[in-house]
Amino acid sequence: MSIRAKVFTIIFVLFASLGVADFFVQRFVVYPSFLELEEHEAGQNLQRIFHAIDRENYHLERICRDWATWDDTYDFITTRSEIYKTSNLYDEALDSISVNVMIYCAEDGTIVWSNARDTVQKNALPLELLKEGRIAPGHPLLTMTAEEDGVNGVINTERDPLLFATRRILRSDGSGPSNGFLIVGRFVNPAMVEILSAQTRIPFEIVYPYVEERMACGTSGVTTAHIDNLDYFTKKDGKFVRVCSAYNDPTGRPIFGIQYLFPRDITQKGIASIRYAMVLVISSGLIVLVMLNVLLQAVILRPLQKLTSHASRLRQEEDYAQRLDLRRSDEVGVLADSFDNMVQTIRERTEDLKRANEQLTLLSMRDGLTGIPNRRMFDDSLKQEWRRAMRDKTPVSIIMGDVDFFKNYNDAHGHLQGDQCLIAVAAVLQQQMNRPADLVARFGGEEFAIILADTGADGAGHVAQTLRQAVMDLHLEHGHSDAAPCVTMSFGVASMVPQPEDGDEGMAELLRRADRAMYQSKRLGRNRVVAWSDEQPESPSL
């Protein structure tokens, strides 16, 4: 009998027993607990939504308290000061604190000043509440006892439900008597719902005005639930549980409904994973480990231990020349042979990959058109030379060169001929480099950059003149150049001795100087070399 058959027979008998036990545990213990947990989690999510709305109301209450307990506001109710209006009651002020409605009332409810705005669209909103110019003393916005300094909650409007906070207007030190009321409000609109959904990570929606028949849970087949002081309804709908509740005003009357879909599969998978891990690890783990360790030690465990040790040694030492050489005629022997072949293949592929990576790295450092180093290699080389010069306190020079009137050359001769021109220029620049550390790179477009290590400004200027002449000696015809009848280049030279306090930021300054010197050479007529000086103009005009 093969090893597979032996293992299958043993495991089948053991796990058949485990399967029966697992069924009873899941059916009569875990599943009812899951249903209870599912309902509880649905209620907790709903609580998070209510708390998020309550936080908005609390935020409004804080804003209202800050504005109402203020000497300037206290005086404004009496004086109607225009300075107060222009300094505080402009549209942007409301937008900045995300307040849709702000109302200043006298003690008798007469509206002293009001504004209703859409803070998203930045426009005024008509509001029925403000049309009469007065808020009745019995209105929910002003319903508070003599001992209370304020009230907050939610009311109906013709647009959306309005979260509000009302405070008595007092002096900055909190003293009275009250000089009126300040009311601030924020609409529970789709924009707010979207923000709160993102905060709670629960995509919910509101039903306004509140009608039970319009709620997703409906009126039939629902389950009433309760968590803390919140009553809600649930209704199973396939893979989801519909969760619904009502948000009440300060009198306990429903203003708008809140509903969302609670995905059942997420909780089910979590409970199933816990159940499987607990039952399988505890029950089958003990049984399987004891029995299989006794019955299969000679058949499977020792060969597998040898195979595992070999794999661990390969992982630690990464010596793919080692071979297991386990001579067996069963499946373990076939596995060992396959493992040896795989290790051999890995060794070959690793070597191939190493060579390919070296080629890829080389290609990534070369410009695809000219074959000389590209900007990436230039930056890496400059960083190395900069840090070496910083240690040795030696100068580093940069030469920036630009082909004169190259756009005109392209327009006249075509882009293919333009590419050939760049190839020729790159080749002749490369030929002028006499030291291994010197580097010519294509900086971008028709611009080239040269790094000269341990070279001062005079030496770099001499090299730049040599490069300029070498390009002219190519005698590439250029009938559309104002500098010469052939292709020429303008060069800018800059040199610095890196200081420790410069850090790597000094490289950018060196490049900037070379670039400005190059543009100065173009401004002066092109086909020339200009070295950086402190008198260099900031923005050269061409």
Omega before residue 177 within 30° of 0, cis: yes
Amino acid making up residue 354: K
3-state secondary structure of 225: strand
Q: In which residue are the tokens 């849709």 written?
A: 100
Marked catalytic residue, from 446, 477, 501, 535: 446
Instruction: Tell me how crowded residue 148 is: count the other CB atoms within 10 A of its CB.
Output: 11
**Phi, then psi, of 219 in degrees rounded to 5:** -120, -5
Contacts of 26 (CB under 8 A, 6+ apart): 275
298, containing H or E segment: none
Helix or strand run (H / E) with residue 337:
helix 331-364
Under DSSP, the state recorded for 281 is I
Q: Which of 59, 54, 55, 142 is nearest to 104 (CA)?
A: 142
414: left (phi over 0), alpha (psi -120 to 50) or beta: left
Annotated active-site residue 317? The verdict is no
Helix (H) or strand (E) holding 124: strand 123-124
How far is it, in rounded angstroms, from Cα 494 to Cα 461? 9
Pair 42, 263: CB distance under 8 Å: no
Residue 327 C-beta-side C-alpha neighbours within 13 Å: 0
Residues 187, 162 contacting (CB under 8 angstroms):
yes
Active site residues: 446
